[in-house]
Every structure is written in structure tokens, then in C-alpha cells.
Amino acid sequence: MKLKITMLGLALTAIAFTGCKKDDDETTNTTTVTNEKVVLDFADYIAHYAYSDLAGETTDLYTKIAAFNATPDDTKLQACKDSWKASRLVWEKTESFLFGPVATDNIDPRIDTWPVNFNDLEIILANGQPFTASYIDGLDDALKGFHPIEYLLFGQDGDKTAAQFTPRQFEYLEALALNLKTLTGDLATGWDPQNNSSYYHEFQSAGNGSANYPTLLSAYEEMVNAMAGICDEVANGKISEPFVAQNPELEESPFAKNSITDFTNNIRGVEAVYLGNIGNDAAGLEDIVRKHNLSLDSNIKTKINNAKTALGNITVPFGEAIFSQPIQVQNAIDAINELKTVLETDLMDFVQLHVD
């Protein structure tokens, strides 16, 4: 959970990180997919692939910010803003599997805590402290990661120009981008098959000597709990808390007006894990479910589509929608909670019955 109350405080260019339904005649044959293959493919084609993609996007963001800092203009600033959104797209999908190094190394809150603490941020900008790597890494979570970068790039109203940057903001922005690049690089290394001590090998050895996953079932339960967990966070944290409080300051990505896109990509991440389809058509949970229970498979896919549709029906930025589109916002909460319920009850019951 990254929402930290310390207040005052896309389709973009297609990234091969999609959730399209596999047809029966595609490469992955449901009838031959084993329980073991789903776990093996998750490590290879979901976690390893996605975190490598994320590290590439945040490296691009850092490179663009460094270029902007060197010779600032509005064209370079827009490139930075676009790159921030591209990085968010990948990150938000990975939130459907928040286990492994992202949790054990506490990387999630270090790169994605919100809301931005404006008071403390302004103190940092004024204190003259050199923005060394160790200084940035030691900052409170609400003062580093995606959202302070978002605030510096977009400005509080989302329309910041290159001319509005101060020298100190340039320094802080580049240091934050380097920290984000470093931490997401650590995530990629943490699931790298070439790294013999990586979590990739721990997860792939589920039921075969893994310390964290003594049975194959425990790996499946980890996946299902993570999928249900992000649904709970989106519905009952990211959306519900600002909505119930009628407080847009609790919104996740307000400066870029990217919150609905963030929420939708969280659900697309759930879809991708279920289908086994993030850039590659691999074995997924759906292949096991379809062997035994076509009705459950259909219900899960319907609930995923309902959640995406409900979010798509919110047609204004989320900070406005909590006031002007309360029915659509409540419908989105309800649809995502319905998906959460089918995952944590029906899908969990299913895997406990069919996976040893």
C-alpha cells in the first residue's frame, strides 16, 4: 500500500505488454499446459519480461531528463512528460504481481508513494543540500519516485513550461530520475535468469526446493493473492479514498492527469497475468482454468472487461470525476470489487482444488 497521508502535501506508443485473449488454435494449447508450466512461464514471460521493459523505460526517462536539463526547451520537456507516462504504463501493470524483490527490498513504496508532500519538498528545494545518490535514497518515500518526478515535470496544474524550472528543480529532477532508474534496474536484476541468486530461480523452483514456495500451490496462491490485492488497492484505496473524502489531494497521479490510465493499467496487469500474455503468448492461469471450468474462465474475463469498461466510462480527470461523475466512479469501484471477489474466492478455490 503506497498511499501515504503526509499532506499538504494511453494509449501511448504500443508497448508489447498487452492482454489479448488467446484463441484455441494459438501456440499455447490449453489441453497440454501443465501446472508447472504456468509457474515457469510467469517467471520468464511475465516478471522477467515486464521488469526488463520497465528498466528500459525508466532509463529512457532519465536520459530524456538529462538532455532536458542540459538544454531546456518545451519540446524536450514534453518528451520527458511522455516518457514518464510510458514508464507508468509498464509499472502499473507490474502492480498485479507485487511480490519478490519489489516487496522484499521495499522498492514499491520507494518509487510509488503518494501524495507528494509539498511542504517537505519545498524545504528540500531550498536547503542547498547536494542531491547525491545516498541523499536521495535516504529521503522519505513521499519525496522520491514517480510522483515527485511527476510534480516537477508537470507542475501542480499540469501545464508547467521549461521556463518555469529553477536550477534547483533541474538538479532534484535529474537526481530523482537516476534513483528511479537504479531501483527499477534492481527489479530487473532481481528477476534476471542470468542472475543465479535472483527471485526468478526461487519462483521457478516452486515445489522443488524453493524456500518461499514449498509447493506448487503456494506459487499459485501468491499469484492469485497479488491479482486480488491490486484490485482491492485500486477499488478501495486509489479510487475510494479520494472519492469518499471528496479530496482530490489524495489522487494518485493528479499532475499528469493520469490516474484513470493508471487504474486501467492495473486491471490490464491482472488480465495479463491471468492470460499469461505480457508481450509473449505464454501459459497462464486461464489455460489451467479452461481445462476444468469454462464457466469460471468466462466469469473472470467478463469481470475484467466490466472493470475496464467502468473505468473507461469516467470521461474527465479523476480529480474532477469524484465531484462531477459520482455514479461512474462508484460503478468503477463496484466493478473492480466484483473482480476482486471472483479472484480471491472462486479462482483461489479452483487452484486449491486443482494444484498440488
Closest to 55 in 3D by CA, of 193, 182, 154: 182
Residue 281: φ, ψ to 5°: -90, 90
The CATH number, out of the four listed (1.20.1420.20, 3.40.50.410, 3.80.10.10, 1.20.120.160), of the domain defined by the range 30-354: 1.20.1420.20
- For residue 15, is pLDDT > 50? no
- At 279 the pLDDT is 74
- At 2 the pLDDT is 56
Domain segments of the chain as ranges: 30-354
Averaged pLDDT score across all residues of the chain: 92
C-alpha cell at 178: 537516476
Query: Could you write out the DSSP letters of every residue in 229-286?
Result: HHHHHIIIIIIHHHHHHT-GGG-SSTTTT-HHHHHHHHHHHHHHHHHTBSSSB---HH
- At 237 the pLDDT is 98
Closest to 233 in 3D by CA, of 244, 241, 221: 241
Which tens digits make up the pLDDT trace of 21-78? 444 444 456 668 999 999 999 999 999 999 999 999 999 999 999 999 999 999 999 9
Provide, rounded to the nearest whole percent, the portion of the chain with pLDDT above 70: 91
CA distance 305 to 327: 18
281 pLDDT band, cuts 50/70/90, is confident
On whether the pTM is more than 0.85, the answer is yes
Classify 180 as helix, strand or coil: helix
Question: Are 100 and 235 contacting, i.e. CB atoms less than 8 angstroms apart?
Answer: no
Query: Could you write out the DSSP letters of every residue in 120-168?
Result: HHHHHHHS-----HHHHHTS-GGGSSHHHHHHHHH-TTS---GGG--HH
- The whole-angstrom distance between residue 294's C-alpha and the CA centroid of its chain comes to 29
